[in-house]
């Protein structure tokens, strides 16, 4: 049964209600655990704060800071979402900031940085417009443009195979909704 809430074409109070209802139900849909409900509530509160208080400031903020802001919120929300309990989520989040006796750089940090250095370097370069700008500059030469157009589908297929290999290699992940 579908019950429309009116979207965003309603007054501010109903819009607040709609955002809260939708995100609380989204959290509950993921499972009957307080971490999922907290996750949904956090997103509802953030959307409300952004919509009514921060939107104009965020539009004036440099894009890089907006990207960092979003990545930070998503990272924290994934910790909450993936935790078995709110206590565990709190412990892990506090650990990110040096609480719980954790140091910022320890043996685990170094291990993961070494293990994923190549992937991190590719991700950092890929997250910037650098590659696109270089390719656009190279395409100004017609011979290189033909070569790029020829190699592009091959590179995409190779990347697909590499990503698939990584996914298969790390494939054990119990189905999320079994936790419901």
111-155 pLDDT per residue, tens = 999 999 998 998 888 888 898 899 999 999 999 999 999 999 999
Mean pLDDT of 2-21: 77
Contact partners, residue 102, CB within 8 Å, separation at least 6 = 95
**Average pLDDT of the chain, as a whole number:** 86
Confidence of residue 1 (pLDDT cuts 50, 70, 90): very low
Separation between Cα atoms, residue 33 and residue 83, nearest integer Å? 10
110: tokens are 């170094």
Q: Where are the alpha helices (DSSP H) in 50-85?
A: 55-60, 63-82
pLDDT for the residue 169: 73
Stronger pLDDT, 178 or 143, i.e. the higher one = 143
What integer pLDDT is reported at residue 179 of this predicted model? 55
For the chain, the domains span 1-103
Higher pLDDT, 68 or 100: 68
Quote the percentage of the chain above a pLDDT of 70. Answer: 89
Give the Å distances, CA to CA, from 70 to 58, 64, 73, 112. 11, 10, 5, 23
Yes or no: say if 22 and 5 are a contact pair by the CB < 8 Å rule.
yes
39 band by pLDDT with thresholds 50, 70 and 90: very high
Give the model's pLDDT for residue 3. 59
Q: 80: exposed, middle or buried (C-beta count within 10 Å: 0-12, 13-18, 19+)?
A: buried
pTM above the 0.75 mark?
Answer: no
4: pLDDT confidence band, cut at 50, 70 and 90? low
Segments in 116-141 forming alpha helices (H): 117-126, 130-138
- Say if residue 170's pLDDT is above 50: yes
Spatial CA neighbour of 89 closest among 104, 97, 78: 78
At 79, the pLDDT band (50, 70, 90 cuts) reads very high
Give the other-Cβ count within 10 Å of 19's Cβ.
19
């Amino acid at each position: 049964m579908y019950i429309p809430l009116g979207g965003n074409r309603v007054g501010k109070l109903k819009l607040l209600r709609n955002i809260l209802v939708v995100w609380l139900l989204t959290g509950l849909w993921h499972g009957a655990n307080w971490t999922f409900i907290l996750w949904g509530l956090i997103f509802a509160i953030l959307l409300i704060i952004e919509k009514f208080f921060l939107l104009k400031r965020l539009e004036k903020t440099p894009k890089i800071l907006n990207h960092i802001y979003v990545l930070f919120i998503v990272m924290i929300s994934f910790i909450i979402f993936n935790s078995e309990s709110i206590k565990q989520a709190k412990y892990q989040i506090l650990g990110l900031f040096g609480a719980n006796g954790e140091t910022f750089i320890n043996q685990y940090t170094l291990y993961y940085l070494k293990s994923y250095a190549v992937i991190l370097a590719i991700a950092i370069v890929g997250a910037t417009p650098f590659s696109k700008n270089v390719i656009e500059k190279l395409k100004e030469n017609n011979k290189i443009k033909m070569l790029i157009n020829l190699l592009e589908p091959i590179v995409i297929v190779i990347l697909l195979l590499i990503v698939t290999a990584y996914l298969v290699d790390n494939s054990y992940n119990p189905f999320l909704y079994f936790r419901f």
